[in-house]
Chain A
């Protein structure tokens, strides 16, 4: 009989642990979701526009639009796809996984259809690149304070 009692207790305990794990995952998932929602676009203050439509931003980041209105070449700066910002960028802008983004850019560059974007491991590097290169545009998770960097609103919103 005792054995039977134990038999019944174990699933109860296990089901408790599973419940906890599910709760944690949901929390993490929510936290991740909250991260994805905080992308911002920055640009070099010299020629980047103040505001862009999301579709226009996507067109730029997909390599379809390659020059600003003043004729300067657009230089894309992105976080590497294995970083959280990079992953968010891949899903929100490209609607692809990180590998798919890589493959996407590899195809474009290989065929010479677009200027290859610069991928960075840290936000500081990305910020420096944007501040130092005319025509540069980058995607970060939050606005930065730099006289050489312009904060670009997307569809009139600070983040997207």
Chain B
């Protein structure tokens, strides 16, 4: 059940008023009445004690001043009902074995009152006894005071309590109205305004707030709404700017992607350009074979024709067999050239992104040869020792061959470039060596490509995989080769790292998952 603020205020006020009324109407008068009675009892008892003491002194000392003063004091009290002197006598039974105390009223003031020695207190009278004992007489003073004054006092307290309760009740009602007006109304106004602000109406302001904490809350609310509205406006503007920026960024991203693709393509074409010489050299050999055997076959076919015309069929058959052998060779070398061209095309084409089961050893070897031949085609003086240690147990692994091939080409080109550069600047017996090693290691294939070039300075080690970072002279490198290689390895969920020592060489370690 939901109880609103106004109801809570009224509940609280009613509770307080009822509690107060209970106290003023019942508890307080009751306690006050008890207090009055107690005080009255004590007072009467003290008076009785005083009179008894006076009597005792009067009897023993024959000094009647004390009792006279006490008696006169008691007599002057309008509440006095009676004051009696009770005499105790010992009454023995006939056998003189048992006795009982017989109480008789010796004297009473006023004389028209005739209280019994056994008189006790009741609602209308308070009776107190104070014993005294002398050689001459034993007894007590019995003092009776009426409770009229107490009753009247209690009545007055009761009436005062009713009046106070009534006043408190009306004050409570008044306070309830004031609180409801000063707390509930502004709070409800704040709530409504907050709801409307929540719905998006930022023009809301609470007015006519009291000059207290709620008023301060109202001011704070108004300021908050104002700030919120301002902030919202700024946010809108910022949002628009952000949208515009995002749009520009998207546009830039698209452009960047295009540029990246173009760069990748450029890099590819650049590496292709570097390969061209090697490829041309590779194709030249089979083409030479094809051309030579084709020319030989042309001559042989002319000889065979002459032998057939001269009826020398046996010779013609021998020549025909030679032609067939040559055709086989032409076909073999033609296919070889075809394969080289296809590989070249495969390299130049966009990656399909499709994984294929590929023999990593064959791929590494093929690109090693292409890279080496490419460099040799450009620099006839270049020569290097190539060392390969391929782990035959690897078998096929699931990779995108065009991408991994491109990665191999980039690293090989760098390796050959480095050893060639070192060859140019090193006098004496320097033997450029590039080695490739593959090894199966659990679920991974580890490929190590090592050169004994100049090595990478330590300060560049953490930058070599950054895009556009290159130490090659302008025009010789795009700075994208290793960056793309890094991306390719990462796309294959592999790892690539480099270990290098200046003047000793570098080693790239690539780990690719088999599956």
Contacts and interface: CB of A to CB of B under 8 A. Distances in A.
Contacts of A107: 106-107
Residue in B59, B62, B111 with the greatest tally of chain A CB atoms within 10 Å: B62
A105 interface: yes
B77 to A, nearest CB: 13
A116 interface: yes
B136 A119 contact: no
Contacts, number: 50
Contacts of B330: none
Given A109-B68, A110-B55, A112-B75, A102 B62 contact: yes
Interface in B200-257: none
B64 A106 contact: yes
A43 B178 CA distance: 85
B107 A111 contact: yes
Nearest to B67: A109
A111 B111 contact: yes
Given A102-B62, A119-B63, A110 B136 contact: no
Contacts of B71: 109-110, 112
A119 B111 CA distance: 27
A110 B72 contact: no
A103 interface: yes
A113 to B, nearest CB: 9
Interface string B71-90: 11001000000010100000
A80 interface: yes
Interface in A96-133: 99, 102-103, 105-107, 109-112, 115-117, 119
Contacts of B108: 111
Given A102-B58, A103-B137, A110 B107 contact: yes
Given A81-B62, A119-B62, A106 B67 contact: yes
A110 B62 contact: no
A116 B68 contact: yes
Contacts of A115: 68
Given A106-B58, A112-B75, A117 B111 contact: no
B17 to A, nearest CB: 54
Nearest to A78: B62
B499 interface: no
Contacts of B75: 112
Interface residues of B, number: 21
B295 interface: no
A115 B67 CA distance: 11
Interface string B120-155: 000000000000000011000000000000000000
A115 B64 CA distance: 9
B109 A111 contact: yes
B109 A110 contact: yes
Contacts of B67: 106, 109-110, 116
A80 B109 CA distance: 26
B65 interface: yes
Given A102-B58, A102-B59, A109 B64 contact: yes
A105 B63 CA distance: 10
A80 B58 CA distance: 11
Given A107-B106, A112-B75, A117 B64 contact: yes
B72 A99 contact: no
Contacts of A112: 71-72, 75, 109
A106 B68 contact: no
Nearest to B61: A119
Contacts of B62: 80-81, 102, 119
Contacts of B109: 110-112
Contacts of A117: 64
A106 B55 contact: yes
A103 B72 CA distance: 18
B475 to A, nearest CB: 146
Interface string B360-373: 00000000000000
Interface in A115-160: 115-117, 119
A109 B54 CA distance: 11
Contacts of B136: 99, 102-103
29 contacts: A81-B62, A102-B58, A102-B59, A103-B136, A103-B137, A105-B58, A105-B64, A106-B55, A106-B64, A106-B107, A107-B107, A109-B58, A109-B64, A110-B55, A110-B67, A110-B71, A111-B107, A111-B109, A111-B111, A112-B72, A112-B75, A112-B109, A116-B58, A116-B64, A116-B67, A116-B68, A117-B64, A119-B63, A119-B64
Across the A-B interface, the 6 shortest Cβ-Cβ residue pairs: A116-B64, A119-B62, A99-B136, A116-B68, A110-B107, A109-B64
Interface of A: 80-81, 99, 102-103, 105-107, 109-112, 115-117, 119
